[in-house]
């Protein structure tokens, strides 16, 4: 566990080990949820509609009618995991 400080504009720096563990990069979107123990930050996937349409077209070409959100999220997680592994190598 690492400590971080709240800055003058209520910004916090997420420690490097935590960023790497979840594959965060500059510009990524996180959801802040208030819990009984504090604030939980979770990475979120925001996808442009045209990118989503492209994924759907790729699914059709591969014989599927469409991709489920679970399949899309799994693909995104796989890309993030590969990116994180590449950076730590």
Q: Which is higher by pLDDT, 34 or 56?
A: 34
Prediction pTM value: 0.55
SS3 6: coil
**CA angle (35 as vertex; 76, 80 as ends), nearest 5:** 15
Question: For the domain 1-44, what is the CATH code?
Answer: 2.10.260.10
Q: What is the pLDDT of residues 10-28, one digit of tens each?
A: 999 999 999 888 888 888 8
Q: What is the pLDDT of residues 35-88, one digit of tens each?
A: 999 999 998 877 777 777 777 777 777 777 767 777 777 777 776 777 677 666
């Amino acid at each position: 566990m690492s400590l971080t400080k709240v800055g003058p504009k209520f910004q916090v720096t997420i420690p490097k080990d935590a960023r790497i563990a979840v594959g965060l990069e500059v510009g990524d979107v996180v959801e802040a949820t208030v819990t009984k123990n504090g604030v939980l930050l979770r990475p979120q996937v925001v996808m442009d509609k045209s990118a989503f349409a492209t994924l759907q077209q790729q699914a059709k070409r591969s014989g599927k009618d469409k991709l489920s959100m679970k399949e899309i999220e799994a693909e995104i997680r796989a890309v993030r995991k590969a990116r994180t592994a590449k950076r730590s190598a």
